[in-house]
Each structure stands twice: as C-alpha cells, then as structure tokens.
Amino acid sequence: MDGVTVWRIAPDGVGTVAETDATAPADWSAEGALTWVHVDCARPGARDWLDAVPLDPLVKRALLAPETRPRCTTHGDGVLINLRGVNLNPGDEVEDMVSLRMWVTAGVVVTVQLRRLMAVRDVMDGVARGQGPDGAAELVARLALRLADRAEPVIAGLNEKLDTLEDQVIEGLSVLDRRGLADIRRVAILLRRHMAPQRDALSTFGIEDMPWIRPHDRARLREATERMTRLAEELDAIRDRAQVVHDQIMDARAELMNRQMLILSVVAAIFLPLGLLTGLLGINVGGMPGAEDPRAFWIVSGGLVLIGLALVLWFRHAGLLGRR
C-alpha cells in the first residue's frame, strides 16, 4: 500500500521490502529478523490502514495523536517513543519540527510520521544498501542519530548568522539586521523546546529494563543522547549570545541617542543667552541704546558672535563638545 512500508531486516543488516497485506502485528514478525513497519500518514490511505491494524488502543492513539512532545513510555512488553526532527520540507519553517512516533518491541518497530521526515529516508537508504540495524533498539538509536545529523547544519547556520551580527556590532555598523536577530532567537527557542525533552526521552529509553535492549544498543543510545545534549547546549548558547548582541545593540542605540541629546542641549545652551539678548534689544519701547547710531547693529552682532564663541570654548573645555 502506498504510504506503508514493511522492511524485513536480517541479522546481517540486509533488508527486503515485504508485502503490506498482513494487518495483524503477529503476522509482521519474522523468525530471526527485525520487522520495521513505517507508516507515512501524509500519503492517502496510510492512516486508514493503521486504523484497521489490531494494535492496542493506547498504542494506536499515541501513534496517531495530532500533537506530541518527545517522550518515552513503557507499555507492556514494548516502549512508546516520540521524537522530533527539523522540518526540511520545501516551503516549511525548520523550527516547525516534524514528529516521529514509534512503538518498539523485541522484533517489531512501528514508526509513524504525519509529514515527510528526511532522517527516516536516510535510515531506509542504509537498509536498502544492506547496512540495516541488527535489533529494535539499534533502529531507534540510528533514527535518533540521523535526526541529530539533519539538525546540525540548521544549528550551524544559526551560529554563522549570529557570528555575522556580532561582527557588525564590533565594527559599529549603523545598520544592523535586528529582524534577523529576532528570527535567530525565535528559531533557537523553538528548536530547544523539543531538543531538551528529546534528550530526556532517549536517556530514559536507554535505561529501560527491557531484555531486548542489549549492552551495545545502550552504548549507541548514549551516543544519541550525548548528541542531543550537545545540540541543546548549542541552542542555549545561541539564545544567550543573541541576547548579548541584542543588549549591545540597545546600548549602542542608547549611547547614540544620549550623544545626540547632549549636542541638542549644548546648542540650546549656547543660543539661550544670545536669544535673551536679541529679545531684550528687540523690545519696542523708547530709550533703547544705539537706536539712532548706524553702527549699533554691527556692534551688537559682533558682541553676539564673541559671546557665542566664548560659550563654545567654555563647553569644549568642560568636555561637552568633543574631547578636552
């Protein structure tokens, strides 16, 4: 059926695609092989096929839930795991992470995706090349590692954009991409929102007391957990660096505004006494000195210029205009 893929993976890692006619979980398992049932609910008919499968109702509700968060929950002889991967589908936002729901038992792994997830395709390509996992827990670890591989370039891109903004702040450029900075902070916060619980989900799965989780499976799961931990820490660092850059931008804007206000205040202080003198000499009453002298205008103008120069020198000496 379109949208449902059943892989039979032999212990040597060689995988073959099986028929999807079997709708009972007991019919999925094969002696000595791992069965991986992947359901892409974005394809027509895939959800109906999964609805018809006689799985445990709780498992089915978890696999088809409209909204999920990364978690790991044991149920009977299996484990329910929800993970998230960055959205690399064309036209979508990377921070709109795609969920991967899994029901994991000793010999059967059921994975469900509501949208295309490239990490799943990466693992399937490995199975097709004869490099498949040798157990259910190994398959979960590989999926988690591929999710981390796909997320790393996105986080590296955020770091590069933030480096550019930090260089602009250091160089004191007047035009800074504040909208770009806000986008970086938003993406980092949204990605970390799922990376941190995903780390906890993998850590929980790695310590579950299931007999089919072998020691080397736990080692791979620890590796996947450490990768998720590192990604979450990088997102924390990006968020903190973005906050520092934002504070530096605001400090630079405040300093620029204070400098401009200082200049305006000094100019106002220079022209205040000059305006007082010109206003006093411009009153229309009798007895004004020099009213009949043709040289009075030039004498007053020269006096105002001298007063203005004296005020400029005084403010400059006080350090309010340029350097002392």
Domains of the chain, by residue range, sit at 4-250
Closest alpha carbon to 32 in 105, 138, 107, 103: 107
Sign of the CA dihedral with 13 first, then 17, 20, and 22 last? negative
Asked whether residue 131 carries a pLDDT value surpassing 80, the answer given is yes
Rounded mean pLDDT of 265-292?
74
Asked whether residue 278 carries a pLDDT value surpassing 80, the answer given is no
- What was the pLDDT predicted at 324? 46
Residue 231 pLDDT grade (very low, low, confident, very high; cuts 50, 70, 90): very high
Residue 291 pLDDT grade (very low, low, confident, very high; cuts 50, 70, 90): low
pLDDT averaged over the chain? 84
- What was the pLDDT predicted at 27? 64
CATH 3.30.460.20 fits 4-250, yes or no: yes
SS (H, E, C) the chain: CCCEEEEEECCCCCEEEECCCCCCHHHHCECCEEEEEEEECCCCCHHHHHHHCCCCHHHHHHHHCCCCCCEEEEECCEEEEEEEECCCCCCCCCCCCEEEEEEECCCEEEEEECCCCHHHHHHHHHHHCCCCCCCHHHHHHHHHHHHHHHHHHHHHHHHHHHHHHHHHHHHCCCCCCHHHHHHHHHHHHHHHHHHHHHHHHHHHHHCCCCCCCCHHHHHHHHHHHHHHHHHHHHHHHHHHHHHHHHHHHHHHHHHHHHHHHHHHHHHHHHHHHHHHHHHHHCCCCCCCCCCCCCCHHHHHHHHHHHHHHHHHHHHHHCCCCCCC
Digit-coded pLDDT (tens) for 166-210 = 888 777 665 566 778 888 988 999 899 888 899 999 999 999 889
Distance CA 170, CA 149 (A): 32
108-113 and 34-40 strand pairing: parallel
Rounded mean pLDDT of 267-272?
79
Extract the tokens encoding 226.
């450490």
